[in-house]
Structure 1
Amino acid sequence: MRLLIVSKLVQEIHYSDSALKYYQEAINLAKLLKNKELQAQNLNRLGVYFRNMNLQEDALNLYEQALELSLESGEKSQIGHSYNNIGQMYYYKDYFDEALDYYKQAEQIFIEIDDKNGLGYNYTGMSLVLAELGRYQEALEKIDKAIDLRDKLGQTRQLMVSKFNKADILMDLGNFYEAENDILKLYDYGINNDKVRAINALEKLVELKIKTGDQKAAISYAEMAQEIHQQKPFSESMIRIYQLINQVYFNLGNIEKSQEYQNLLQAERNVIKSEKTKVHLAALTIQKQKEEIEFLSREKDLLDQNEKFKLFLLFGLIVSLMIITVAYLTVYRALNREKINLAKLYEQNKKIENQSKDLEKLNRMKDKIFSILAHDLKGPLNSLSGLVKLIQEDNLTQEEFVSYIPLLAENLGNNNILLENLLVWSRSQMNGLEANYTRLNIQSLVQKNIEYLHYSGYYKGQILTNDLDENVWVVADKNMVEIIIRNLLSNALKFTKKSDHINISAYDEHDKLTIRVDDNGVGIMQENLSRLFDSEFFSTMGTHQEKGTGIGLILTKELVQINNGKIWVESEYGTGSSFYFNLPKA
């Protein structure tokens, strides 16, 4: 009875922070009572909770556990929802082919058990995947099925969501008239039921009107959104609206209005930063701690394997020496055999020597990683620990606490870049990296990382300019390209001062696109140019004495090569540097 009550409770409060402990209680009770159906159901719901917290890997793990339990129990509904949820996570990861496979399996289950509600969610999600794969006609067929089902079920809110998704697909196809009708329906629903939905709809209307050249209507919709925003704030959509209108006024030459919307944009960004700092720090700390523990665990396993391998080599050496001794006694009477055995001994010793060098290299890598973990990552975590201790002891005022938050976020942001480089580089050294090639817009990736690094400890007031055309596309792995861009930009920020210029541009070269990162910073001595991308760790202090590890550019070179490109640098000490890398054009 308690299991049913707790399961019902979390279904009602699943968006609240207090739901987490009840989910865990429900899962433990279901496991104790061997009720695999309710255990899978609550695992799926807990996965949604973690997905909303942006802990996608944790959510995917829960969905996979739910699927395994559902398959064991044979409960079709939960099997379908598990497939659907896993498909959604692969969609978020941009693994669209894999996502489509899971959605199709879910569709078969829901059709088999005639679960119309499940099919509504399935077709809505599947349409987004098909659109990403460029299969727009199939995407429209699926979303129309979802709309028809939800209309018949009387699910007004879900119906509006499906129509809104259809509008997105129609906009991609250039069918702005029909898309506008669906968006307006969501706006009407939002005005009466959910102001956030109304602002979300106005965001799309602003974008649509700009694409159709109706700038006056776009400005009008933006002003409507601003009025609703004052009643029911929704900064995520307002940031996009302010960006678009700022660009409209800038293109019209109205610098005063452009600056006004730029100020509104910055204010909303500050609101988002202020509201999400605690959540961001908590999620980041949890995620990074888990990654560090997993990484150290792998390191320990590697060290254990190394020790076992050393023992194996020692045993092999002893056995080899015994064999050689016996062989020498035997070949005393046969010179030809002696020569053969001596050759074998030479080869064996050479192999042992090479293996010893490999082990020495692995130990140097291990020592470097531990050094980075002990020194470069320790500082911000100690700062966070100190702040928590001060809070527990009531030694901080509200104003002091607020003043510390940006500093902590900045330090953790710097460590985020270092830790990401460290984890990716370590994985490449141990297991190698596999690229997932997709069609990428370089201009948007550069802009995203400019905005991200604007709040990092490397930013000192430099002027960053994104001169890339918005229609520049390449074929590469998205995550790897983001790391390449982030490393080159953070490197430029590190070796420039306040008011220095950093410019990102690109040019075509046959079947490749070459991206160029220029700065007018301190530059690089000629004798150090050849060491930048070497396999040995090389680093110098930045203009504010920022420390480096040497991993960033080594990893950047490796990631560029994995994506079928090359990287090089031109620099003159005292006048600045230019880093170039190219990628295949889409």
Structure 2
Amino acid sequence: MIPENTLTNKSYRLFVLFLCLIFIIPTHYSYSRQEEIHKVKADSLYKLYRQTKTDSSRLYVLSELVQEIHYSDTALKYYQEAIELAKLLQNKHLQAQNINRLGVYYRNMNLHEEALKLYEEALELSLESGNQTQIGHSLNNIGQMYYYKEYFDEALSYYEQARKYFEEVNDKNGLGYNFTGMSLVLGELGRYKDAIELIDKAIIIREELKEIRQVMVSKFNRANLLIDLGIYDEAENDIWALYEYGIVNDNVRAINALSKLVELMVKTGEREEAIKYAELAQKLHEEKPVSQSMIEIYQIMNQVYFNMGDLEKSKKYQNLLQIERNIIKNEKTKIYLAGLTIKNQKEQIDFLNREKALVEQNERFKLYLTLGLILSLLIISIAYILVFRALKREKINLLQLSESKKEIELNKEELQRLNHVKDKIFSILAHDLKGPLNSLSGLVNLIQEDSLTKEEFESYIPIIAENLGNNNILLENILIWSRSQMNGLEVTNVDIDVRVIVQKNIEYLYHSGYFKGQVMINDIPEHTFARADKNMLEIIIRNLLSNALKFTKKNDQIVISSYKKEDNLVIKISDEGVGILRKNLEKLFGNEFFSTPGTHQERGTGIGLILTKELVQINKGTIWVESEYGAGSTFYFEIPLA
């Protein structure tokens, strides 16, 4: 049983449909009239723009003009002029506003990536200017682009941020746009209850603002949500509201509404009404074509007549469908080519702007340089006079005393630093070098006393040799580091075969106390040349290899490899050792001495990695480490290629 009020609505709508079939021409006239109003307003603003003399007034007129002609091909030129003027006048609010509108222009040309970049630029400017309304619109526009990309969670995040800004300044217009767009995202996420509540709020706001066209847009969006929920009667009411508005004001929206009514009638089994609505849409389409909506109608009607067994009419709609598809295809091709043209123009304009900026920057530099030279000469002249006069006064003595005091303070700090270095060196010499030398001294005493057999003597020799070898590395590090701290180091850059240097140090370290049976692999390609100080590079490699030996066990692999990175060579030392605790990573290359025991409890001084870092930096390089505790370490350092 159909409710009486529903029957009444149906009768009324059929009556309206009948009137529309009779009075199509007045509808077209009304739409043309609306276009004429926009044209007249745009012409008036254009004349005012031509008459305006000041940049400030021109900017405000341009901002109004582009709003009226934003769908025309000429809009791009005026958008760019408005943006440049706003930038010149440092009006970040209007700069952001026009960049946002230009983004809408690009969006309509299907240049979505360019539009998104503009929205993000507008957001940055809006945040700098603090204009909350413009911040909200920028966030809203970015949310819309993510909706088009079907990144619905990201879109919702931007819409929610925009809502907060609109609510803070009670921007009703912004909230209308925000709630309408956000409801679509919520619908895609399956949150229909929230979506309906939000679109209802948008409709109430837009009705309060008397924005009838926007009310119709929101109602049409609500109709789509209601159809998804199966609430067909309420959806039909919203679609009819859009149709009644469109038939008076906007032919395109009338056809969009009829397209949705055809779909709805088919869903509810009212096939005859679907046919009537499709025929009415066809008549409106002949007055002002709307191919996209007609494609949807033709697809449905083709299927309806096919299901009815009327193959002739099914074929008719199939042919109409193909015609409209071809039209859409051609339009898309035109839009794509226009988009490419706009993109190329933008790139050319950007290039010219950069070139102009460079020229202006060069001119400013010349001006500043000239002014700087004049000012320098003036300062030097005045200073000369003042110094000459000051020599005759007692104040010069006080100034000299003050400078002497500062110099003494600086020398004191430097002496304290050098004293700290000296103490550390003496500590190392006293503890780390003393042990092997005592062992050697004891062995000599035993030999003198004839207390050692030949076999015992031979068994001690490798141990003493290893200890002395370790001391060699340590002593070399101490001497070089001390010299760098005291007087600095001189670099002699030459072309070095890195593979040869690495192999030399591998063979050297096989006889050190750090070697415990590990496998050292030289994986650096032959003829790999770097530009560095040869002695310093040897110390860097030897320190990093001995460090790897210290923290690995028997049969662990240590691999030395390299790769090119632009104009530099990166050398990589990887091991399978114990790794480094995360909390210790930051201490490795610090200014303080830091060391931990090796796998055989070998003691270190911490000087090796500090020296290594200094030597790498002296050779115009960088050093870093990657490690996971228990899974080995990889040290990298980068120096220039030969």
TM-score by length of 1: 0.53
Aligned pair partner of 2:78 in 22, 26, 43: 22
Aligned pair partner of 1:225 in 281, 285, 307: 281
Aligned pair partner of 1:2 in 28, 39, 58: 58
1:142 alignment partner AA: L
Counterparts of 2:514 and 2:62, CA distance in 1 = 83
Matched, 1:344 2:523: no
1:344 alignment partner AA: M
- CA deviations on 1:450-474 (whole Å, 9 max, x unpaired) are xxxxxxxxxxxxxxxxxxxxxxxxx
2:520 alignment partner AA: K
- CA deviations on 1:461-500 (whole Å, 9 max, x unpaired) are xxxxxxxxxxxxxxxxxxxxxxxxxxxxxxxxxxxxxxxx
Residue in 1 aligned with 2:217? 161
- CA deviations on 1:289-336 (whole Å, 9 max, x unpaired) are 999xxxxxxxxxxxxxxxxxxxxxxx99833421322453675x6799
Counterparts of 1:127 and 1:317, CA distance in 2 = 67
Give yes or no for contact 2:216–2:241 (8 Å, CA) kept in 1: yes
Counterparts of 2:333 and 2:252, CA distance in 1 = 21
Aligned pair partner of 2:502 in 323, 326, 329: 323
Counterparts of 2:165 and 2:514, CA distance in 1 = 73
Counterparts of 1:157 and 1:330, CA distance in 2 = 83
Residue in 2 aligned with 1:109? 165
Residue in 2 aligned with 1:55? 111
Give yes or no for contact 2:86–2:95 (8 Å, CA) kept in 1: yes
Find the structure with the greater CA-based Rg.
2
CA distance 1:344–1:241, change in 2 (3 Å): same
1:550-569 matches, within 5 Å, as none
Counterparts of 2:68 and 2:235, CA distance in 1 = 33
Residue in 2 aligned with 1:94? 150
Residue in 2 aligned with 1:247? 303
CA distance 1:324–1:286, change in 2 (3 Å): farther
Counterparts of 1:233 and 1:51, CA distance in 2 = 22
Residue in 1 aligned with 2:227? 171
Give yes or no for contact 1:120–1:150 (8 Å, CA) kept in 2: yes
CA distance 1:330–1:267, change in 2 (3 Å): closer
Give yes or no for contact 1:13–1:19 (8 Å, CA) kept in 2: yes
Matched, 1:36 2:92: yes
Residue in 2 aligned with 1:120? 176
Counterparts of 2:334 and 2:142, CA distance in 1 = 28
CA distance 1:316–1:240, change in 2 (3 Å): farther
2:504 alignment partner AA: T
Residue in 2 aligned with 1:235? 291
CA distance 1:112–1:329, change in 2 (3 Å): closer
Give yes or no for contact 2:142–2:158 (8 Å, CA) kept in 1: yes
Residue in 1 aligned with 2:486? none
Counterparts of 2:218 and 2:509, CA distance in 1 = 84
- CA deviations on 1:224-248 (whole Å, 9 max, x unpaired) are 1001111111111011100110011
Deviation at 1:338, TM superposition (A): 11
Give yes or no for contact 1:328–1:338 (8 Å, CA) kept in 2: no
Residue in 2 aligned with 1:75? 131
CA distance 1:249–1:337, change in 2 (3 Å): same
1:265-276 matches, within 5 Å, as 265-276=321-332
What number of residue pairs does the alignment pair up? 330
Larger relative contact order (Cα-Cα within 8 Å, sequence gap ≥ 6): 2
CA distance 1:322–1:158, change in 2 (3 Å): same
Secondary structure of 1:345's aligned partner: strand
- Structure 1: unaligned runs, 5 residues or longer: 292-314, 357-586
- CA deviations on 1:69-100 (whole Å, 9 max, x unpaired) are 11111011101111111111111111111111
Secondary structure of 1:7's aligned partner: helix
CA distance 1:321–1:133, change in 2 (3 Å): same
Secondary structure of 2:289's aligned partner: coil
Give yes or no for contact 2:207–2:215 (8 Å, CA) kept in 1: yes
Counterparts of 2:512 and 2:61, CA distance in 1 = 87
- Structure 2: unaligned runs, 5 residues or longer: 1-56, 348-493, 526-557, 565-642
CA distance 1:264–1:327, change in 2 (3 Å): closer
TM-score by length of 2: 0.48
Matched, 1:211 2:267: yes
CA distance 1:338–1:46, change in 2 (3 Å): same
Secondary structure of 1:54's aligned partner: coil
* % same residue: 63
Residue in 2 aligned with 1:441? none
Secondary structure of 1:246's aligned partner: helix
Give yes or no for contact 2:236–2:264 (8 Å, CA) kept in 1: yes
What is the root-mean-square deviation in Å for CA atoms of aligned residues? Answer: 2.8
Give yes or no for contact 1:96–1:129 (8 Å, CA) kept in 2: yes
2:303 alignment partner AA: Q
Give yes or no for contact 2:522–2:560 (8 Å, CA) kept in 1: no
Residue in 1 aligned with 2:248? 192
- CA deviations on 1:194-240 (whole Å, 9 max, x unpaired) are 11110000000010011111111111110010011111111110111
Counterparts of 1:132 and 1:111, CA distance in 2 = 24
Give yes or no for contact 1:46–1:62 (8 Å, CA) kept in 2: yes
Most deviating of 282-291 and 63-72? 282-291
1:331-410 matches, within 5 Å, as 340=518, 343-346=519-522
Deviation at 1:286, TM superposition (A): 6.8
